[in-house]
Structure 1
Amino acid sequence: LLWVGRGLPPEVASHFGVAGDANSKMSRGGFVVSMGAAMVLLPLLVWVGAGWAMKRGKLNIPDADYWLAESRRPATERYLYRQITWLCIGMTTLMGWIVWLVSVANAGAPAHPVLDSRLATLGVGVFMAAVTAWAVTLSVRFRRLDA
């Protein structure tokens, strides 16, 4: 982000309409700080929140008594932390993709930046497909034992 930020103009087109046309700007510093905060704090909030839920027994999984029994709890928590870590990596990757697209839009035509909405849609689509696969993986792993 810092590397990309150095190449941005002093005023960055930071919000784009559906067609990709810029409709809002902010300072380069504001953009770098806000995107940096989002790239770090949002995944961190998800990761810490999941850990908080695990430690307080707030997990909503089928057959929780089975999966959280004393003999299985450590393995279950390791698995969940690993899965949450992958989700957080995906979130950070998507935000990095968006930052890169914004930087390309601002570099291409500084007077009238246009975001490549096809690539933005592709990035969001890949993320949503990955989240769907992630959710299916969790569902299969913690499926009801009597099913």
Structure 2
Amino acid sequence: MTATSIFVNLPTNDLDRSKAFYEALGFTINPLFTDENAACVVFSDNIYFMVLTREYLGTFTEKQIIDTKTHAQALIALSRESRDEVDAVLAKGLAAGGTEPRDAQDYGFMYSRDLEDPDGNVLEFLFMEQAAAEQGPEAYLADQAQAAQSATA
């Protein structure tokens, strides 16, 4: 069975700027699916962002293409292997012209930071403790509290 691939379509006002931004984050552009209207940003073997000029994206829908600087349609969350990797990708994104619209969120079991690309599309990079992903956050935090209590007793 072939694995499902995910293609996220994002509007841009400046295709060249968007390509440079995503390449600065460490992702590649697939030239076979890139032209003057769109760029295929390869995140992984199964995840791709199609960064499309606003005009070209409009040919795929009858709905209004929103202004991503002032409106949110989706927040795209991408996991990383560690908190350090979250911080590293944010540093790259900020250096490449992105912005961080809010402070880092640290829930103990999960750490996340938001990055807006130059067009205002929001990418959330996060790290979650594997045990929290397997048990659920409440059970993980209860186990952590119990372990801390046992260590001080």
Q: TM-score, normalized by length of structure 2?
A: 0.22
Higher relative contact order, structure no. (Cα contacts within 8 Å, ≥ 6 residues apart): 1
Which of the two has greater strand per residue? 2
Q: TM-score, normalized by length of structure 1?
A: 0.23
